Amino acid sequence: MEKRTNQFLGEERIGGLMRKYAIPCIISLLVGALYNIVDQIFIANASYLGSYGNAANTVVFPLTVIALAVAVMIGDGCCAFVSLSLGMKRPENARKSVGNSVVMVIVCGLALCAVYLIFSGPIISMFGGTVNEETFRYSKEYFFYITLGIPFYMFGQALNPIIRADGSPRFAMASTLAGAVINIILDPVFIFIFRWGMMGAAVATVLGQLATAALAVWYIVHMKLVKPAKPDFRLNGGVCRKTLVLGATSFLSQISLVASMAAVNNMIRKYGALDPIFGQEQFAQIPMAVVGIVMKFFQIVISIVVGMAAGCIPIVGFNMGAGKKNRVRALFTRLLTAEAAVGAGAFFIVELLPRQLIYIFGAANESAYYTDFAVRAFRVYLCMVIFACVNKACFIFLQAMGKAAASTALSMVREIVFGVGFALLLPVFFGLDGVLYSMPLSDALTFVIAVWLIAGTYRELKRENAPLP
């Protein structure tokens, strides 16, 4: 039955398979990205919040990524465990993994929520929230209400891949979309009509996350393939370890971004204070706000890039397992071409239309210094976006081929060695501009390594009798 079900992965046209698998994945990731981006757009366009609110949003964003890292470690690990267990005809292990994962994400969500509430002040300071008094105040307000929703956010994010593993990718996408739509509807109501400020943006987000979590709970009760019973929710050390090990790559991928963002935020705070313009109290929040906006645009691009690459994972796995390396090679070529095209489109947008982009995030209410720095930030920070897109495709494709160690190592080099290293080093020589140079330099150097790995991958796929990883 399994062979008959999956055989089309080795027979249908590569282009058609890419579209079939990548589009739902892209939509899910874009919808997930909308939460923070929509908040920032509405915050920026509220004249009583403006760049202070934007800066606060930028400070809090990495803290939500920490929650996401833990959630995807549990969810992706469970997804892999469920798939392996069902493939080996051991449904009891699949049920235990789902039950244990539900308990783990609830416990972790509540624990992280408690830590955030107890240590909110030092945590916000650690991520650059002390750039000025107003930014710190807005950051604390936004962070408090976002923290209350952390358990719901983590539950929804962890259950999303588990729902996909149970054979319901459309429900997984719909549950995420429902939460995002609620956020989009409530944000303007709370911010512009009720004038709840940062609290309103956060509450709208939390209510959307609550809706996604509620749909996930409903699905757990009505699962199709894996139906956990009460005993399956008792924590089992072996099952938990296996689940977390399988999800470790996803965790490292997300948590490395947090380290990079923390370094960037703190260098912006430190060297912005030394800048003749942004060292002034009334302008101190502008660099933090602007870099956050640039990263939100980049997040949209990366959601498309990761969606395309992640959508190819089952196609790559099946054809590698079937020994059809020519199809894997053809898929790799198409993927790299498509990712480079997305990067090229993003490059032309940031280089030709930076003012239009920044106006979406409320530049009309800001000083000329805000707009000028934003234009420079878009053009410099993302000038190597084509390389960034190809690098990300390389990370994910290597993982799909079973080369998790190479994939993780390359990702760590990009985010930790280069991303953190250059963010800390370059401002010493170039001041605030050094923070902007750190990203393109990191992407360019990572691309050099990626090209070497891509060439090696092509050579391996050309060898008829090459051993499978």
Element (H, E) at 357: helix 354-360
Q: Render pLDDT for 85-113 as a digit per residue (tens, 0 to 9).
A: 776 778 888 899 999 999 999 999 999 99
Could you give the CA distance from residue 58 to residue 60 in angstroms, rounded to a whole number? 6
Q: Render pLDDT for 365-421 as a digit per residue (tens, 0 to 9).
A: 788 899 999 999 999 999 999 999 999 888 878 876 767 778 878 888 998 899 999
Put residue 228 in one of left, alpha, beta given phi > 0 → left and psi -120 to 50 → alpha: beta
Q: Render pLDDT for 300-342 as a digit per residue (tens, 0 to 9).
A: 898 898 878 877 776 776 777 778 888 889 999 999 999 999 9
Other beta carbons within 10 angstroms of residue 243's beta carbon come to: 26
CA 343 vs. chain centroid, Å, equals 17
Calculated CA dihedral for residues 340, 346, 349, 352, nearest 10 degrees: -50
For residue 11 the two structure tokens come to: 């027979």
Could you give the CA distance from residue 315 to residue 268 in angstroms, rounded to a whole number? 42
Rounded to the nearest integer, the mean pLDDT of the chain is 87
Contact yes or no for 298/385 (Cβ under 8 A):
yes
Q: Which residues of 400-418 are buried (b: 16+ CB within 10 A; e: fewer)?
A: bbebeebbbebbbbbbbeb
Q: Render pLDDT for 191-200 as a digit per residue (tens, 0 to 9).
A: 999 999 999 9
Q: Which residues of 115-146 are buried (b: 16+ CB within 10 A; e: fewer)?
A: ebeeebeebbbbbbbbbbebbbebbbbbbbbb
Q: Which residues of 271-305 are buried (b: 16+ CB within 10 A; e: fewer)?
A: bbbebeebeeeebbbbbbbbbbbbbbbbbebbbbb
Residue 67: closest CA among 181, 5, 152: 152
Per-residue model confidence (pLDDT) at position 39: 87
Helix axes 133-148, 91-118, angle to 10 degrees: 150
Does 252 score more than 80 pLDDT? no
Q: Render pLDDT for 42-70 as a digit per residue (tens, 0 to 9).
A: 998 888 888 899 899 999 988 998 998 89
Per-residue model confidence (pLDDT) at position 137: 95
For residue 10 the two structure tokens come to: 């080795």
Question: pTM of the full predicted structure?
Answer: 0.81
